[in-house]
Structure 1
Amino acid sequence: MTTDKFGDTIGFIGLGVMGEPMCHNLHTKSGRTVIAYDIDPAPLDRARAANMGVADSLEDIAKNCGTIFISMPSGVQLAEICKGLRPHMKSGQTIVDTTTAPVALTKELAAEFKAQGIDYADAPIARTRQAARDGTLAVMVGAEAAVFERVEPLIACYANDITLCGDVGSGQVVKILNNMIVAETVNAVAEALTIGRRAGLDDALLLDTLT
Structure 2
Amino acid sequence: MKVAFLGLGVMGYPMAGHLAKVGHQVTVYNRTSSKAEKWSKEHGGKAVPTPKAAAGDAEIVFACVGNDDDLRSVTIGADGAFAGMAKDSLFIDHTTASADVARELGGIAADRGLNFLDAPVSGGQAGAENGKLTVMVGGEQPAFDRAKPVIDSYAKSCVLMGPVGSGQLTKMVNQICIAGLVQGLSEAVNFGQKAGLDIAKVVEVISKGAAQSWQMENRALTMADGKFEFGFAVDWMRKDLGICLNEATRNGARLPVTALVDQFYAQIQARGGRHWDTSSLIHLLQKP
Length-normalised TM-score, structure 2: 0.67
Identify which of 13, 32, 37 aligns with 2:29. 37
RCO higher in 1 or 2 (8 Å CA, sep ≥ 6)? 1
Is the Cα contact below 8 Å between 1:12 and 1:36 reproduced in 2? yes
- Distance in 2, Cα, partners of 1:76 & 1:57: 16
Give ranges in structure 1 of 5+ residues lacking alignment. Answer: 1-7
Q: Which amino acid aligns with 2:44?
A: N
AA aligned to 2:71 is L
In proportion to residue count, which structure has more strand?
A: 1
Q: Give SS of 1:64's match.
A: coil
| Bigger CA radius of gyration | 2
Look up the match of 1:3.
Answer: none
Contact 2:2 2:25 in 1 (8 A): yes
Q: 1:112 — aligned with what?
A: 108
Counterparts of 1:189 and 1:88, CA distance in 2: 47
2:188 equivalent among 186, 192, 195: 192
Structure-1 separation of matches of 2:89 and 2:193 = 56
Q: Runs of 5+ in structure 2 lacking a partner?
A: 208-288
Deviations 1:50-78 (A, max 9, x none): 21122222221232212100010111201
- What letter is aligned with 1:58? P
Root-mean-square deviation (Å): 1.4
Do the aligned partners of 2:57 and 2:86 also contact (CA within 8 Å) in 1? Answer: no
Q: Where does residue 51 of structure 2 map in the other structure?
A: 58
Give the counterpart letter for 1:26 in structure 2.
L
SS in 1 for 2:56: helix
Report the Cα distance in structure 1 between the residues aligned to 2:72 and 2:203, rounded to whole angstroms: 41
Corresponding residue number in structure 1 for 2:169 = 173
**AA in 2 matched with 1:41:** S
Alignment-mate amino acid for residue 155 of structure 1: I
Aligned mates of 2:95, 2:138 — CA distance in 1: 12
Q: TM-score, normalised by structure 1?
A: 0.90
CA–CA separation in structure 2 for the residues paired with 1:77 and 1:114: 20
1:100 aligns with 2:96: yes
Return the match for 1:75 from 68, 77, 101: 68
> Per-residue CA shift, 1:132-172, capped at 9, x if unaligned?
12111111111111111000011001111111111111111
Q: CA deviation at 1:9?
A: 1.1
Aligned partner letter, 1:170? S
Give yes or no for contact 2:58–2:85 (8 Å, CA) kept in 1.
no
Pick from 144, 149, 152 the counterpart of residue 148 of structure 2: 152
Amino acid across the alignment from 1:51: G
User: Which of 11, 18, 40 is 1:48 aligned to?
Assistant: 40
Which structure has more helix as a fraction of its residues? 2
Identical residues among aligned pairs (%): 30
Amino acid in the other structure paired with 2:185: V
